[in-house]
């Protein structure tokens, strides 16, 4: 009978997949052969990922592992804050540099800081230590969840050189920027940084912790990205609440090897026109490898005047290319306040049939995109945004917060709009979920 140590690796992995480190330790004690065979897997389970906080004592313990065979098994590192000790960036960087010097196979770095005023205070010592210890093995970086001020991504030429020479193997970057309103020149510096370290980047996730709903003016060449921006090996893109123009998205989506696109809450100046231009670009440039497409377009804009509509959320999640026959795109619109209207269309074919913007959205949604049911939630949201904006303008004009006639008029107008919308009677609408 074959022993566990003599089985093919794939079978062993399946058998031991659910074992805890303590149980695998017992397997190692069966014989010298078992110990030799499963020592690497044991250390992988124990130190995957290795979790450290940024206290001096914790980092010094990691430094003491230098020379120990276990350090070669550490591939994944999760960094946590240590709030009982003040973070001294220069000292922390020095200690981390010594600790990282022995982690010869470090590939994954996660900075798990979700509640803090400045994510950059944690990003900087970790990144500087990786650069100084020349850990070119790093393939995946996840920035702090609390966000990094976008203005912090302005680096000197020497700092940029450190990033570009160290992260030559970087394949995946997940970063959150903290911003009120993206100013064009700051956004361009942020995206320029990503481009410089993204020569081999395959997966990119960018989100913001935006605190304002306004859209800032793009730069002189019509966007927020550098003019010749390019990520030549990008395969998966995820954007959430990021200021972009159609021109920016064309730069991000022009790689023919793209397989997955996930864009949500990204505001456009002219939504129905701009998003039509983007999805049309996908077809015209024949991005035929795309299998997953998620465009969350609903409600992230303000309806002005009589131009009341809501764009649908589009979802394709298939095993084959979105260009294939029978491709199914889930088209979802809000219906009233709580329900949704859902249709299923072939997005590739719909884009081929229509060159007119309104005709395309009408056909894709079976003419529901301008209906009262579909736009009700959007109109309530728009009324609320306009109301809050007018109150803020009135307050900043020096008229106080509440109580005067103008403020009361703003209040009354808002309440009237809400009452009129809520008084609408729902009609029958097929396809409700």
**In the chain, what percentage of residues exceed pLDDT 70?**
80
* pLDDT band per the 50, 70, 90 thresholds, residue 269: confident
pLDDT at 126: 95
Span 183-235, pLDDT tens digits: 888 999 999 999 999 999 999 999 987 656 667 788 888 899 999 999 999 99
Q: Quick one: tokens of 8?
A: 């093919």
Length of the chain: 433
Q: Quick one: tokens of 52?
A: 């450290």
Q: How much is the average pLDDT of 80-100?
A: 84
Looking at the predicted structure, is the pLDDT value of residue 20 above 70? no
Span 309-332, pLDDT tens digits: 889 999 998 777 888 877 789 999
Looking at the predicted structure, is the pLDDT value of residue 13 above 70? no
Dist CA 311 CA 293 (whole Å): 16
Looking at the predicted structure, is the pLDDT value of residue 139 above 80? yes
Comparing 385 with 363, which gets the higher pLDDT?
Answer: 363
Q: Which among 261, 260, 257, 259 has a CA at the least distance from the CA of 249?
A: 261
pLDDT at 402: 57
Could you give the C-alpha distances from 349 to 283, 322, 345, 353, 355, in angstroms and in order?
A: 9, 10, 8, 6, 12
**Average model confidence (pLDDT) across the chain:** 84
Is residue 282 within 8 A of residue 253, CB to CB? The reply is yes
Is residue 124 within 8 A of residue 88, CB to CB? The reply is no
- Give the residues across from 293 on adjacent strands: 261, 316
Dist CA 297 CA 362 (whole Å): 15
Lowest-confidence segment of 39-43, 183-187, 270-274 by average pLDDT: 39-43
- Give the residues across from 335 on adjacent strands: 339
Q: Quick one: tokens of 55?
A: 């206290």
Looking at the predicted structure, is the pLDDT value of residue 399 above 80? no
Asked if residue 49 has a cis previous peptide bond (ω within 30° of 0), the answer is yes
Q: Is the dihedral of CA 284, 287, 288, 293 positive or negative?
A: negative
The region, left, alpha or beta by phi > 0 then psi within -120 to 50, assigned to residue 222 is left
In which residue are the tokens 């009129």 written? 420
Phi, psi of 237 (to 5 degrees): -130, 130
Q: Quick one: tokens of 349?
A: 């074919």
Helix (H) or strand (E) holding 192: helix 184-197
| HSE-up of residue 348 (Cα within 13 Å, Cβ side) | 17
Q: Please measure the distance between the N-terminal and C-terminal CA atoms of the chain and give it in whole angstroms.
A: 57
Could you give the C-alpha distances from 114 to 50, 178, 190, in angstroms and in order?
A: 18, 12, 21
Q: Which among 15-29, 208-222, 256-270, 295-309 has the top mean pLDDT? A: 256-270
pLDDT at 356: 94
- Percentages (nearest 5) of helix, strand, coil residues in the chain: 40, 15, 45
* pLDDT band per the 50, 70, 90 thresholds, residue 16: low
pLDDT at 428: 47
Q: Which among 349, 352, 310 has a CA at the least distance from the CA of 328?
A: 349
Q: What does pTM read for this prediction?
A: 0.83
Helix (H) or strand (E) holding 37: helix 32-46
């Amino acid at each position: 009978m074959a022993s566990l140590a003599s089985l093919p690796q794939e079978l062993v992995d399946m058998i031991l997949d659910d074992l805890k480190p303590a149980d695998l330790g017992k397997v190692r004690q069966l014989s010298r052969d078992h110990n030799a065979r499963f020592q690497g897997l044991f250390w992988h389970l124990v130190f995957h990922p290795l979790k450290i906080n940024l206290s001096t004592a914790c980092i010094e313990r990691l430094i003491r592992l230098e020379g120990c065979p276990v350090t070669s098994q550490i591939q994944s590192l999760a960094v946590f804050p240590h709030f009982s000790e003040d973070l001294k960036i220069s000292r922390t960087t020095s200690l981390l540099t010594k600790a990282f010097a022995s982690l010869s196979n470090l590939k994954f770095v996660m900075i798990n800081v979700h509640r803090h005023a400045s994510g950059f205070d944690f990003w900087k010592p970790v990144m500087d230590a990786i650069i100084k210890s020349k850990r070119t093995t790093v393939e995946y970086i996840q920035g702090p969840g609390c966000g990094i001020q976008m203005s912090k991504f302005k680096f000197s030429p020497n700092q940029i050189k450190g990033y570009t020479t160290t992260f030559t193997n970087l394949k995946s970057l997940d970063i959150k920027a903290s911003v009120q309103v993206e100013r064009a020149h700051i956004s361009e510096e942020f995206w320029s940084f990503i481009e410089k370290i993204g020569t081999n980047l395959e997966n990119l996730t960018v989100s913001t912790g935006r605190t304002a709903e306004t859209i800032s003016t793009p730069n002189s060449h019509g966007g927020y990205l550098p003019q010749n921006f390019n990520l030549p090996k990008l395969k998966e893109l995820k954007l959430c609440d990021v200021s972009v123009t159609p021109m920016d998205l064309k730069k991000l989506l022009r790689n023919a090897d793209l397989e997955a696109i996930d864009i949500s809450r990204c505001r456009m100046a002219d939504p129905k026109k701009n998003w039509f231009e983007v999805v049309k670009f996908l077809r015209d440039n024949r991005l035929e490898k795309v299998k997953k497409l998620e465009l969350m377009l609903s409600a992230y804009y303000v309806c002005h005047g009589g131009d009341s509509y809501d764009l649908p959320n589009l979802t394709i999640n298939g095993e084959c290319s979105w260009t294939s026959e029978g491709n199914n795109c889930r088209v979802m619109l809000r219906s009233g306040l709580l329900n949704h209207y859902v249709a299923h269309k072939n997005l590739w074919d719909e884009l081929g049939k229509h060159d007119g913007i309104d005709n395309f959205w009408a056909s894709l949604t079976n003419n529901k995109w301008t209906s009262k049911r579909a736009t009700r939630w959007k109109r309530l949201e728009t009324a609320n945004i306009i109301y809050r904006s007018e109150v803020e303008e009135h307050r900043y004009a020096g008229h106080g917060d509440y109580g005067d006639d103008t403020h009361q008029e703003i209040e009354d107008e808002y309440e009237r709009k809400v009452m009129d919308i809520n008084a609408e009677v729902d009609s029958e609408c097929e396809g409700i979920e």
